[in-house]
Each structure stands twice: as C-alpha cells, then as structure tokens.
A and B are shown apart, each in its own frame.
Chain A
Amino acid sequence: MLPGFTMAEKILAKKAGRERVEPGEIVEAEVDLAMVHDLTGPLTVEVFEKIGAERVWDPNKIVVVFDHQVPADSTRSAELQKKMRRFVADQGIKHFFDVGRGGICHQVLPESGLVRPGMLVVGADSHTCTYGALGAFSTGIGATDMAYVFATGKLWFKVPPTTRVEVVGELPRGVYAKDVILAVAGEIGSDGANYMAIEFCGEVVKRFSVDERLTLCNMAVELGAKTGLVEPDEKTASYLGANPSSMGEVVRSDEDAEYADQRVLDASGLEPMVACPHSVDNVKPVSEVVGTSIDQAFIGSCTNGRIPDLREAARILRERTVSDGVRLVVIPASQRVYEQAVREGLVEVFVKAGAVVCPPTCGPCLGGHMGVLASGERCISSSNRNFVGRMGSRESEVFLASPATVAASAVAGEIADPRDFLGD
C-alpha cells in the first residue's frame, strides 16, 4: 500500500490539481493569496511592468501592507510608498493596509482573517512561513517570482520533504514558545531543515494559542525551512471567529505519512533560551549568559510583538524601571495589538518603566529605524535574526530571547533570567 501524505504534500497537490505529489517533485500551483510590503512591493511592481503585464490576476487575492519604513522615514521611502499607493488604486487591490491601518504584515494577515487553513500563500518576505500556524502552506519568495504571481496567479514549487517536530511535556514557568523554537533551532541548526516543511505537533503545541503557534512557525525559515505548519483545530477556528467546519479547508497529515526526520522535544526540562551572536542556532540556556551587559532591549517584531508577548513583558516591568544605561524599545505588532495594549494598561506600564513605545513597524529588527545599533553595542531582542550587522553596525551584537527574558534584562541592565522576576 502507498504511504500517506503530509499536510504540505496534500495542500500542494490540491493546488497543483494533482492526485498526489512526491517530495522533490516540481509542480506549478495556484496561489490563494499573495502579499508584498513597502520594501519588496516597489521592485515587484517594477518587474511586473518589465514583463509587460498590465492587470493583476485577481485584485482580491493580493495584500499590500506598509510595515518596514512606516511612517515614511525619508523622502525616498515616501516616494516609494506613493508609487505603491498608486499601483493599489490603479489595480483595484482590495486588501491594502496603509500607515495606521494595519501593522506588521505577519500579524495583520492572520488577525484580519485573510489566511485560512488549507490555503497556498506566498509573500515577498522570508517570514511568510508564519501563516502555517493556521494550517496554510505559506512561504517567502522574491520580487521577480512575486511579479509573475501578480500577473498569473501561479508559481512553481518544489514539493518539500517534511520534518516533524513533536513537543511534549509541560512548559516550565518563564519558558515560552520562543524558547521552544530557539531550542529547536539549536538542535536542528540554521540549515538543518533547508528546503523542508516543518510540522509542529504534540501536546505542547496543541495547548499553545494561535499567537504562540505564530511565533513557532515564524522562525521555521531560520532553520532553512520553506514553511512551518500546525494542524488546524478548534483554537484556529476560534482565532478566526469561525466554526471548525467552515474556517477553511482543514488539512491534516495522514497517520502513515512519510517524514524526512522526526524529533521529539521534551519541554518540561527547558530553560529560557538565548541565541547568541551571530547565528540563530548558537543557542544557550539563559543561565550560561546571565550577566552579559547590554545597551538596548527590543520587544516587538513579527516573532514576538503580540498581546501575550506584551502581557508577559508588562508582568515583569510593572512597578520596575529600565536600568540606567539601557534603552528599551517596545513595538506592538499591529494597530489592533496596540489598541488592546492601551486598553489593558500595558502601554502605561512600559512608558512608566522608561521604555519608548513606537507605532507598529518592523523598526530596528532589520536595522531600519527606531533603535538602530552603534558599533560596539549589544542588544537583546525578541525578534528572529542576530546576523552580523542585522540591527545596525557591523560591530554590534544581537542576542535573541523571549519577551520576558528581554524585559528582565532591560530591568537588570544585563542579560537576566526572567524567572527571577516573575514570582511564583
């Protein structure tokens, strides 16, 4: 008897109009949703024009989000954004999130219900893999590929083999989804899942909220993966404000699906984790780096700028202050998250603690604006990359950790263990 299929294989087969597909095979598939942001959109439009395309294949299936350089930080970015607004208007693109209307694309698409289980989604941003948390096959592509998608609604895909990561046990206090994915990165390595899909499962993942699953899948690309995936369930449905039966096309891996690799991680023994410079897989338990001095702390990004992240950070920062000599930058991932954080009093906690709270944007994560690093400076960040020069100077250093570890470090003035600040 033929073996069963993984979620990734089933979604790609369906979108390619095929009975079955095998890992390694190249197929042409129909895309359900295509996203560009303010940094990749202009080049996409330029190539779209160069290939002689005139109209986009479906203005209802394209999403444009301004998040990297917002509000415009220079006349150059203002001009690029003007050009994109014109394209949106000319083409009648339905889903457009301008400054003040959305936030970081990888929060905006899930929270606005645009991504549904079973969809094939492409985005001109490498962290597009985030949406797999909702049971979609979702992956990052470049501007030229995107221009082709804009024109035709189709793209070629190599069917990825799937690695299954099962997370069992119970998360200890002070340990979060971010610590889980950092631990996985430390084990698998930054190219350990190159070209693969990673399926996250197990009791811990089942207990995770959709927000936490988004954190897991967001960092799949840091292991080289094409996408991360979580099987949709009643939590997915409730997140989408839908019934489990009508939330989309629920696709599950078969019991006898074939995996390229299977790993089991026992979360019960996990400590808060930190990815040290300059690679995401250079992961150590926080106890090994406690006491490392810092100049800046950053809570935000498409990895960890959501409400549960801000709540955990606020738990630590309430009635405490940021250490002298440290800047704390907090950036809610979207307008909705921002509004919720205001309503819950979280923003007040941050401001009182001495943090600067910025409007939704990618900000300093990629060295753009709102907290770029000078030479010799060190930052602990809740974002997803700590590459050389990522957040500014080539001579700066970035440590990656959970929002709780970042908040604790901001208070301590050096890398600190959040468990020392959380109470019992």
Chain B
Amino acid sequence: MSSHVFRGRVWKFGDNVTTDEIIPGRYRFKTDDIGEWAKHVLEGADPEFPKKVRPGDVVVAGKNFGSGSSREPAPLVIKHAGISAVIAKSFARIFFRNAINVGLPVVICEQLPDVTEAGDVVEVDLEKGMVRNLTKSVEFAATKIPNFLMQILMDGGLVEHIRKRGGAVWQDIG
C-alpha cells in the first residue's frame, strides 16, 4: 500500500461535532502534553472513544465536523490518537485548514457517511481522491481539494512541507 492509502476500522459520528467535544478547553488549561490531551480525544462526543480507538482507525462523520474554536490541538489530538483519516460530509473551515496544516488527512465525501456504519472497514486513497467502504463494497469520489493543499497534506503538514521544499509553498495559486 502506498503511504497515501489508508485502510481502517470506522468510528461513526453525527453532524456538527465541535472542537469542544474533540478536546475540551478545560484540558488545555491543565497541560500542554499532547499525549495527555489525546487521552480525552472526542470524549465529548463519545466518552468511551479514547479507550476504544486503535491506531489506523478512521473517523466518519456528518456535516460541519470540527465546528467552533480555532484550536489547532483539535486535529492534533485526532492525529496523535492514531486516527489515519477523517471522512466527513463537510468540515468547519478553520478545522479544515488546521487539519491540513498538521497533516491529518481530511476527506470530504457527501455519500460515504450515509452508507457507512461503525465497525465497517474503509479505505482512503488520498492521491486518487477515492474512498471505499470495503465492508459494503461501495466506492465514491471525494470532493477535490486544490493541488497545493493536497501537497501540504501529503508532505505531512505545513512544517514538513516547508522543510522539504525550502520555503514558499503556494506559489502556484491563481
């Protein structure tokens, strides 16, 4: 499997999962240890989630995932918990930018969440822009994101992207 193809077991969430549910503000006041934060990942939406999640798992959600705060620890804790990708019908804009900047694969797909249940196995092909539910044997095209964002994501985030390419990143815009 190429490094841009992820396969994993699904955890399913609904619409409007907020950044306060992903990582409540109260934990950010206590520590800046990301490992500690990750112990509470998404517990606002599912209190058992931090115990159940395994590296490589995939989060599938409805619309407006990550709404609320600009806190970058939100995508960071999801990544740190080992989630390989988040597939949602839509994302809140700041969360979406932050996820790409920290190298958490975020995939927009209107159809897949409706036919996917918890425990299904899904596959994301970032480069080809395809998502598949292997349990249900269905495949959908993800919404295309601009090339320069895909490059940042595939490099593992903005810091790695700049290190790798030595500076300015989005010259190809416009």
Roughly how many angstroms separate A69 CA and B3 CA in the complex, as a whole number?
A: 40
Closest to B76 in A: A43
Do the beta carbons of B173 and A27 come within 8 Å of each other? yes
Nearest Cβ on chain A to B104's Cβ, whole angstroms:
12
What are the residues of chain A within 8 A of B85 when measuring CB–CB? Answer: none
Do the beta carbons of B70 and A140 come within 8 Å of each other? yes
Number of interface residues of B (CB under 8 A): 45
Known: A28-B173, A142-B98, A385-B20. A125 touches B92 (CB 8 A): no
Do the beta carbons of A224 and B29 come within 8 Å of each other? no
A-B contact count (CB 8 A): 136
Do the beta carbons of A124 and B70 come within 8 Å of each other? yes
Interface majority SS (helix, strand, loop, mixed), chain A: loop
Verify if B158 is at the interface (C-beta below 8 Å from A): yes
Task: Select one of A52, A80, A194, A387 contacting B20, CB under 8 A.
Answer: A387
Task: Select one of B63, B94, B170 contacting A141, CB under 8 A.
Answer: B94
Report B147-174 CB contacts with A as 1/0, cut-off 8 Å. 0100000000111001100001010011
What are the residues of chain A within 8 A of B102 when measuring CB–CB? Answer: 144
Do the beta carbons of A76 and B32 come within 8 Å of each other? yes
What are the residues of chain B within 8 A of A28 when measuring CB–CB? Answer: 170, 173-174
Roughly how many angstroms separate A45 CA and B97 CA in the complex, as a whole number?
A: 18
Nearest Cβ on chain A to B80's Cβ, whole angstroms:
14
Do the beta carbons of B90 and A144 come within 8 Å of each other? no
Number of interface residues of A (CB under 8 A): 53
Nearest Cβ on chain B to A20's Cβ, whole angstroms:
12
What are the residues of chain A within 8 A of B68 when measuring CB–CB? Answer: 126, 385, 387
Do the beta carbons of B32 and A389 come within 8 Å of each other? no
Roughly how many angstroms separate A390 CA and B18 CA in the complex, as a whole number?
A: 10
Interface centre among B30, B70, B73 (most CB of A within 10 A): B70
From 33 to 88 in chain B, residues with beta carbon under 8 angstroms from any chain A beta carbon are: 43-45, 47, 63-64, 67-73
Verify if B133 is at the interface (C-beta below 8 Å from A): no
Closest to B171 in A: A28
Roughly how many angstroms separate A43 CA and B24 CA in the complex, as a whole number?
A: 17
Verify if A73 is at the interface (C-beta below 8 Å from B): yes
Do the beta carbons of B20 and A389 come within 8 Å of each other? yes
From 122 to 144 in chain A, residues with beta carbon under 8 angstroms from any chain B beta carbon are: 123-126, 128, 140-144
Verify if A259 is at the interface (C-beta below 8 Å from B): no
What are the residues of chain B within 8 A of A366 when measuring CB–CB? Answer: 20, 25, 69
Q: List 26 A-B residue pairs with CB atoms under 8 Å apart, sorted by A's residue number.
A: A16-B174, A18-B174, A39-B71, A47-B158, A52-B163, A73-B29, A74-B30, A76-B30, A76-B32, A80-B32, A126-B70, A126-B94, A140-B94, A141-B94, A143-B98, A190-B64, A191-B15, A191-B92, A194-B90, A194-B92, A279-B16, A366-B25, A372-B26, A387-B20, A388-B21, A389-B20
